[in-house]
Structure 1
Amino acid sequence: MTTETTSRAADVEAIRRLVATVEHSQRNKDPEEFLGLFHPDALWTTAHGKVLLGLDAIAEFTREVLPAADWDGEVTYEVVHTLFIRPDVAAVKVRQRYLAPGEESEGAPLYVVAKQDDGRWLLTACQNTAVIAR
């Protein structure tokens, strides 16, 4: 295994852990944990098309909506594909599922993540998309 391959594998694992932390913050309805995953200049588009520019706007929305979320049951986030645009920027396709007795909904977020100078990967440009069953 080359140094580059080892480095890429470590980045893929770090991105998987980032998405796992998104899942954890959503399951626990924890806005502060969730907000700690964003670049200060991030942009976020919600599943319903609300555009949030910068961490302040994302924080205001998240602190209002996440603790009040009405889902009960399991929330899962699964990385289904990672495309490295450059060594420090990746597009990450995620399968998001909300499972409760008798109901299920799904989302298909796309996260563009950027590796920081300290090695952390942060959410930078994200689009959440609701999946409509056909």
Structure 2
Amino acid sequence: MPDRPSAYDHAVNQHDVEQIAQVVANLGAGMNSNDVDLIDRQFTDDVLWVTASGTRLLVWYEMNAHHRQGLDDPPLDLRVTWTMLGIYFLGPDVAVADTKQDYLTPETGTKHGTAVLIKKNQTWWICSMQHTNVVS
């Protein structure tokens, strides 16, 4: 068996953990208030977003249009609880966030999400995110 390296061996900075947790909290707050600007303000311009249905959106404006169509037309009464399952640092400026979304209304169900974040100018940005529907 070959020796395998560990990916998540960077020291954890509590301030960075709090900032990343806030980024994830903003996703839930934006969804619960139908505020696409709040949801999408923390993504990089060249984001790779993969929806739970497998649709790949490769730049911010495509993701933003997808969110606007989904939340604004017609406005949804979403209630989502986002839970941070873990934050794993690949280095001082790169992290992976493992999340869970519990949808309460009008859609029910759970999704797991994985986000890759980068830190630029002291701000954490999501550069890639994928959601997967959890089958009960």
TM-score, L = length of structure 1: 0.86
Q: What displacement does 1:54 show? A: 0.8
Q: What displacement does 1:120 show? A: 1.1
Q: What displacement does 1:62 show? A: 1.2
2:49–2:58 CA contact under 8 A, matched in 1? yes
Tell me the distance in 2 between the aligned counterparts of 1:75 and 1:16.
Answer: 16
Tell me the distance in 2 between the aligned counterparts of 1:61 and 1:73.
Answer: 16
Q: What displacement does 1:73 show? A: 5.7
Distance 1:74-1:52 versus aligned 2 partners, 3 A rule: same
Task: Give 1:1-134 correspondences, 5 Å limit.
Answer: 8-68=13-73, 72=77, 74-100=79-105, 104-117=108-121, 119-133=122-136
Cα deviation, 1:88-125, whole Å, max 9, x if unaligned, reads 11010001001148x731000001011112x1111111
SS at match of 1:64: helix
Distance 1:97-1:68 versus aligned 2 partners, 3 A rule: farther
Unaligned runs of 5+ in 2: 1-9
1:29–1:69 CA contact under 8 A, matched in 2? no
Matching residue's letter, 2:59:
G
SS at match of 1:93: strand
Cα deviation, 1:29-83, whole Å, max 9, x if unaligned, reads 1111111110111110000000000111111111111224776463110111111
RMSD over aligned Cα atoms: 2.1
Unaligned runs of 5+ in 1: none
